[in-house]
């Protein structure tokens, strides 16, 4: 499991987050909508997981360990991301 | 294949044919409001039904085609030959897909690419006039691409610096179920080496509790540097979900930036309206639950795609309610609500869609029931058996009468008369089910004449008359190919080139008329052209060159007879072989096909004025089951109706009864007679030890076994009555033509039994 709950206020994404992690992450975000998401230890994010992050729009603790996601993905909103 | 798919296939074929007709009529007669309406309606319904069976490639192509027609309607685009060609090409493509869908239940893998290319080509016509005022390429850029460029132009410029780069816009819209296929869209995007801009669209507002993490709802729009091959390779597994568009390096469009949202709204509106129409139109028929499910799914998908998530959920729930309650009402209400909520733009085609809705609901006369041909044939056969059974009832009544039960026999006769009337009516009404308007057969002709005349550089107008004349479907089916040959020939050999016509004082545009009429129980089709006519001298010369006829016979031949030579096998008057006709398999095929239908074909012509081919066939053909037997070295047909059974008899079972032979079959003595003797052919006495082959025939009270040499074949054939001098000859039911072209005499055994 690469999605873990650290405590009531934070959820951690670690290492390679696969599609199966999306369900677990969603459940945790439903249970504690105010929890912060720490995705610094994550180095590869699957689209399904990214989609949950985009849909739930939690507060994130970054930068995301997946540099590509950090660069290109709008976090928690559907706004476009500017080129560097 | 599901009911829904079957219905889609047959409807799509009809709609494609309709749209083709309208396009050709528009090209020929100019733009008329009602034609454009009908054309839009056809395209629109095609698009809607493609959504219903979830064929996105087709939806894409039809949407672009619909826009093109819309542009014709608003005079933004002129319906010239290029535009009509493009629209026809689109219909051809869609027809190929429908065929593939029919055969394999899915579209070929290339469909996505083909659809995008087709949509681009279609849009190039709308852009040609309505696009950028400077007439440059940007007019062709899709809205999403120009919006993306507009948003990121400065950043991209900064990233590129002074480099000249090959730029592409990429729209990647993954399938909702793509995670289950093992796709990771972000993983694909990561592989783009020089990504310059990325826009990720996700559904705007979501209740997390309703969120399905395994449905991909993200859409990606990117700008990247090429080369194109590299980008195509990255997305090779998902060609149907990706569009890659060249970005012009110099000009960047501005004009189309705002189209996106309204465009999308229009599509969503159209899709939902279509689901409503389909549901209402099909409200009385079977398979409703499948339709409800599909309509709810398509509408919800469209709404979600357009970002109307709340409405999408509402529609999906209403769909589920409708299924539970077995009524469409909740879904229809939800669809109406969604339509009102989206509101705003009314897609041009919705107006026509409403007209079609009114048609479907209002006019009972225009309602049709599609029935597979096989079921009708089964009914025809059953009713045939009923007729036979009815006859045996008559026999029974006579028997009762003979036994002195007059009261009972009178009652039976009364009932039998009633049954007879009913059975006859029944049989006739069922045969009438097979009657179809010949217009159906004439469908491909406008398109064919148009395409061929374009290819030959000729100008030809096709006139059809009497399309509503009805005929047996079997006749119509078998006539369409010969008719194609005749019309091709008229176009190829009859109609002259425009300059030749002008020089001869004729209008440049030639005409070919197909006139169908009913004369008694015959259908007469006359194909007339106003071309150069057929020269009997040239025909005679050619027939001689081909060795079809001797000099003497030619000399004695009238011009009218010479014209008939064109129906001889291997005859062709084309001086140079074209790929259309003139392969020498033209008119003889026509004669053969018409002969097989029990019909007649003839030709008349005046040099310089034109020619008329006249085909005359029975309105309905009843096929008979025939047994082909051999006797005294010749073949004859025997109607299977008269044969009770065939018996191979060892010679020791043959009894001599007075001067005749006979044998015992189930306690009855059956006399044996030789077929050769019955029809007066020299028969050979066989050696006594040989087994005998007998056909047992019962005619009323008579029973006999007819001896033959061999049984060769059993076939369904169309009987042509005996004609001319033979019309009154006894013992023959008629003739039929065998596959190898030989004529088979069909015997009426009941008539010739001793």
pLDDT (tens digit, 9 = 90+) per residue, B394-404?
667 777 888 88
Which tens digits make up the pLDDT trace of B214-225?
889 899 999 988
Question: Has residue B353 got a pLDDT over 70?
Answer: no
Q: What is the pLDDT of residue B530?
A: 93
- Per-residue model confidence (pLDDT) at position A80: 33
Give the CA angle between residues B620, B625, B626 to the nearest 5°. 120
Highest-scoring range by mean pLDDT, B121-135, B482-496, B734-748: B482-496
* CB nearest B202 (choices: A19, A26, A54): A54
Instruction: Name every chain B residue with its beta carbon within 8 A of the beta carbon of A30.
Output: 208-209
Phi, psi of B734 (to 5 degrees): 155, -165
Within B520-654, strands assigned E span: 522-529, 600-606, 610-618, 623-631, 634-639, 643-649
pLDDT band at residue B500 under the 50/70/90 scheme: very high
Look at residue B178 in the predicted model and tell me its pLDDT.
87
Indicate the residue of B206, B208, B213 with minimum beta-carbon distance to A48. B213
CB contact under 8 A, B186 and A50: yes
pLDDT in tens, B143-167: 888 888 878 877 787 777 666 677 8
- Give the strand pairing for B610-618 and B522-529: antiparallel
Per-residue confidence at B257, pLDDT binned at 50, 70, 90?
A: very low
Q: Which two tokens stand for residue B507?
A: 């209008």
Mean pLDDT to the nearest integer, B589-595: 82
Q: Of B637 and B573, which is predicted with more confidence? A: B637
Q: Considering only CB atoms, which chain B residues are within 8 Å of A19?
A: 179, 184, 214
What gap in Å lies between CA B476 and CA B615, rounded to an integer?
12
Question: What confidence category does residue B139 fall into, taking pLDDT thresholds of 50, 70 and 90?
Answer: very low
pLDDT-derived band at A81, boundaries 50, 70, 90:
very low
**Residue B705 or B343, more confident:** B705
Low-confidence winner among A68-82, B34-48, B352-366, B719-733 (lowest mean pLDDT): B352-366
The whole-number pLDDT of residue A4 equals 87
CB contact under 8 A, A78 and B204: yes
CA distance A45 to A42: 7
Give yes or no for residue B657 having a pLDDT over 80: no
Sign of CA dihedral B640, B642, B645, B647: negative
- As a whole number of angstroms, the distance between CA B369 and CA B102 comes to 20
Q: What is the pLDDT of residues B262-296, one digit of tens each?
A: 556 767 777 787 788 777 766 545 556 677 877 88
B585 part of contact set with chain A, CB < 8 Å? no
pLDDT, residue B367, reads: 62
Q: Per the CB < 8 Å rule, is A51 touching B217?
A: yes
Instruction: Give the H/E segment covering residue B268.
Output: helix B259-281
Percent helix, strand, coil in chain A, to 5, is 30, 25, 40
What is the Cα–Cα distance from B558 to B560, expressed in whole angstroms? 5
Place of tokens 């480099």: B163
pLDDT band at B659 (very low <50, low <70, confident <90, very high): confident
Q: Does residue B514 carry a pLDDT above 90?
A: yes
pLDDT confidence band for B392 (50 / 70 / 90): low
For residue B227, cis peptide bond before it (omega within 30 degrees of 0): yes
Please tell me if residue B211 touches chain A, with a CB cutoff of 8 Å.
yes
Percent of chain A with pLDDT over 90: 8
**Averaged over B495-509, what is the pLDDT?**
92
pLDDT at B258: 37
Residue A6 belongs to what H/E stretch? strand A3-7
Query: Which positions 137-196 of B are in contact with A (Cβ < 8 Å)?
Result: 151-152, 155-156, 158-159, 174, 179, 183-187, 189-190, 195-196
Cα–Cα distance between B373 and B367 in angstroms, integer? 18
Among the residue ranges A53-62, B299-308, B582-591, the one predicted with the least confidence is B582-591
Per-residue confidence at B686, pLDDT binned at 50, 70, 90? low
Query: How high is the mean pLDDT of chain B?
Result: 79
Task: Provide, as residue numbers in chain B, all residues whose Cβ is less than 8 Å from the Cβ of A23.
Answer: 213-214
Please list every residue in chain A whose beta carbon sits closer than 8 Å to the beta carbon of residue B213: 22-23, 25-26, 48, 51-52
User: Is pLDDT at B377 greater than 70 in this prediction?
Assistant: yes
When scoring A17, A33, A78 by the number of chain B Cβ atoms within 10 A, the one with the most, hence best to mutate, is: A78
Cβ–Cβ gap A69/B186 under 8 Å: yes
Rounding to the nearest 10 degrees, give the CA dihedral for residues B355, B358, B363, B366: 50
Longest CA pairwise span in chain A (Å): 36
Check B159 against A69: CB less than 8 A apart: no
Express each pLDDT in B222-246 by its tens digit: 998 877 778 877 887 777 788 888 8
Which residues from B are below 8 Å from A32, CB to CB?
none
Q: Looking at CA atoms only, how far is residue B374 from chain A in angstroms?
A: 50
Report the alpha-carbon distance of residue B511 to residue B113 in Å, rounded. Answer: 40
Percent of chain B with pLDDT over 90: 11
Taking CB atoms within 8 Å and a gap of at least 24, the contacts of B536-540 are: B536/B560, B536/B562, B536/B563, B537/B562, B538/B573, B539/B563, B539/B565, B539/B566, B539/B573, B540/B565
3-state secondary structure B195-249: EEEEEEECCCCCCHHHCCCCCCCCEEEEEEECCHHHHHHHCCCCHHHEEEEEECC
**Yes or no, beta carbons of B213 and A51 under 8 Å apart:** yes
Choose between B119 and B1: higher pLDDT.
B119
- List, for residues B60-81, the tens digit of each pLDDT value: 888 888 888 888 888 888 888 8
Interchain CB contact of A41 with B (< 8 Å)? no
Instruction: Please tell me which of the candidates B155, B209, B217 has its beta carbon nearest to residue A83.
Output: B155
Q: Which residues from A are below 8 Å from B206, CB to CB?
A: 55
Residue-level pLDDT at B484: 87
Contact B202 A55 (CB under 8 A): yes
A48/B contact by beta carbon, under 8 A: yes
Top pLDDT among B487 and B294 is at B487
pTM, to two decimals: 0.47
d(CA B51, CA B58): 8
pLDDT at B574: 47
Across the interface, do B200 and A80 touch by the CB < 8 Å criterion?
yes
Of all residues in chain B, what percent carry a pLDDT higher than 70? 83
**Above 90 in pLDDT, residue B612?**
yes
**Beta pairing class for A10-13 and A36-38:** parallel
Spatial CA neighbour of B251 closest among B154, B358, B138, B337: B138
Question: CA of B191: which chain A residue's CA is closest?
Answer: A68
For residue B665, pLDDT beyond 80: yes
Measure the CA–CA gap between A70 and A84, rounded to whole angstroms: 12
Give the pLDDT of residue B226: 74
When pLDDT is cut at 50, 70 and 90, the band that residue B130 belongs to is very low
């Amino acid at each position: 499991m690469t999605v873990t709950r650290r405590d009531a206020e934070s959820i951690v994404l670690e290492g390679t987050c696969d599609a199966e992690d999306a369900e677990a992450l969603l459940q945790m975000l439903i249970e504690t909508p105010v929890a912060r998401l720490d995705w610094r230890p994550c180095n590869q994010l699957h689209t399904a997981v990214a989609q949950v992050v985009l849909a739930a729009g939690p507060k994130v603790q970054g930068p995301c360990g997946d540099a590509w996601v950090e660069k290109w993905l709008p976090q928690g909103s559907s706004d476009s991301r500017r080129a560097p | 294949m599901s009911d829904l798919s079957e219905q889609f296939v047959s409807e799509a074929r009809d709609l494609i044919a309709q749209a083709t007709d309208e396009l050709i009529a528009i090209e020929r007669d100019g733009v008329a409001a009602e034609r454009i309406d009908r054309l839009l309606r056809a395209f629109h319904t095609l698009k809607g039904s493609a959504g219903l069976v979830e064929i996105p490639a087709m939806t894409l192509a039809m949407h672009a085609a619909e826009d093109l027609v819309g542009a014709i309607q608003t005079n933004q685009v002129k319906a010239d030959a290029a535009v009509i060609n493009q629209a026809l090409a689109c219909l051809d493509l869609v027809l190929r897909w429908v065929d593939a869908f029919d055969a394999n239940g899915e579209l070929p893998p290339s469909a996505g690419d083909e659809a995008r290319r087709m949509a681009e080509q279609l849009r190039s016509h709308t852009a040609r006039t309505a696009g950028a005022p400077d007439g440059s390429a940007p007019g062709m850029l899709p809205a999403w691409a120009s919006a993306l460029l507009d948003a990121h132009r400065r950043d991209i410029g900064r990233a590129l610096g002074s480099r000249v780069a090959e730029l592409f816009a990429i729209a990647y819209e993954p399938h909702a179920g793509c995670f289950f296929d093992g796709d990771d869209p972000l993983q694909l995007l990561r592989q783009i080496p020089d990504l310059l801009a990325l826009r990720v669209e996700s559904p705007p507002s979501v209740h997390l509790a309703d969120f399905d993490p395994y449905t991909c709802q993200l859409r990606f729009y990117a700008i990247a540097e090429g080369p194109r091959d590299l980008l195509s390779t990255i997305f090779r597994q998902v060609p149907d979900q990706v569009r890659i568009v060249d970005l012009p390096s110099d000009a960047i469009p501005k004009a189309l930036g705002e189209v996106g949202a309204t465009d999308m709204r229009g599509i969503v509106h159209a899709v939902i309206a279509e689901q409503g129409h389909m549901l209402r139109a099909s409200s009385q028929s079977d398979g409703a639950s499948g339709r409800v499910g599909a309509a709810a799914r398509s509408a919800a998908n469209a709404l979600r795609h357009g970002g109307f998530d709340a409405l999408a959920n509402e529609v999906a729930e209403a769909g589920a309610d409708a299924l539970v309650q077995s009524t469409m009402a909740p879904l229809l209400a939800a669809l109406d609500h969604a339509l009102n909520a989206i509101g705003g733009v009314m897609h041009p085609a919705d107006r026509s869609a409403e007209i079609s809705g009114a048609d479907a609901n209002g006019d009972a006369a225009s309602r049709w029931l599609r029935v597979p041909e096989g079921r009708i044939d089964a009914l025809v056969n059953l009713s045939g058996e009923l007729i036979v059974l009815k006859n045996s009832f008559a026999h029974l009544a006579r028997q009762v009468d003979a036994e002195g039960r007059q009261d009972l026999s009178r009652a039976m006769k009364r009932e039998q008369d009633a049954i007879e009337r009913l059975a006859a009516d029944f049989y006739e009404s069922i045969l009438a089910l097979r009657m179809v308007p010949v217009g159906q057969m004439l469908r491909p002709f406008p398109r064919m004449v148009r395409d061929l005349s374009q290819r030959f550089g000729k100008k030809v107008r096709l006139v059809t008359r009497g399309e509503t004349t009805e005929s047996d479907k079997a006749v119509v089916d078998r006539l369409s190919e010969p008719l194609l040959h005749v019309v091709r020939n008229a176009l190829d050999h009859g109609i002259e080139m425009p300059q030749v016509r002008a020089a001869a004082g004729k209008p440049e545009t030639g005409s070919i008329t197909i006139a169908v009429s009913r004369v008694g129980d015959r259908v007469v089709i006359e194909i007339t052209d106003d071309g150069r006519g057929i020269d009997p001298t040239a025909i005679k010369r050619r027939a001689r060159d081909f060795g079809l006829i001797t000099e003497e016979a030619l000399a004695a031949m009238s011009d009218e007879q010479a014209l008939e030579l064109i129906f001889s096998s291997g005859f062709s008057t084309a001086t140079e072989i074209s790929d259309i006709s003139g392969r020498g398999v033209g008119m003889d095929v026509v004669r053969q096909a018409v002969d097989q239908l029990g019909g007649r074909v003839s030709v008349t012509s005046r040099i310089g004025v034109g020619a008329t081919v006249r085909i005359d066939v029975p309105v309905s053909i009843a096929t008979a089951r025939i047994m082909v037997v051999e006797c005294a070295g010749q073949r004859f047909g025997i109607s299977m109706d008269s044969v009770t059974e065939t018996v191979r008899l060892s010679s020791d079972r043959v009894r001599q009864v007075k001067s005749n032979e006979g044998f015992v079959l189930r306690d009855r003595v059956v006399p044996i007679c030789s077929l050769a003797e019955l029809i007066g052919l020299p028969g050979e006495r066989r050696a006594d030890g040989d087994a005998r082959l007998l056909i047992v025939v019962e005619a009323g009270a008579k029973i006999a076994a007819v001896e033959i040499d061999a049984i060769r074949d059993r076939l369904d054939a169309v009987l042509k009555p005996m004609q001319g001098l033979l019309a009154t000859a006894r013992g023959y039911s008629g003739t039929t033509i065998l596959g190898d072209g030989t004529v088979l005499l069909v015997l009426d055994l009941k008539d010739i039994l001793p």
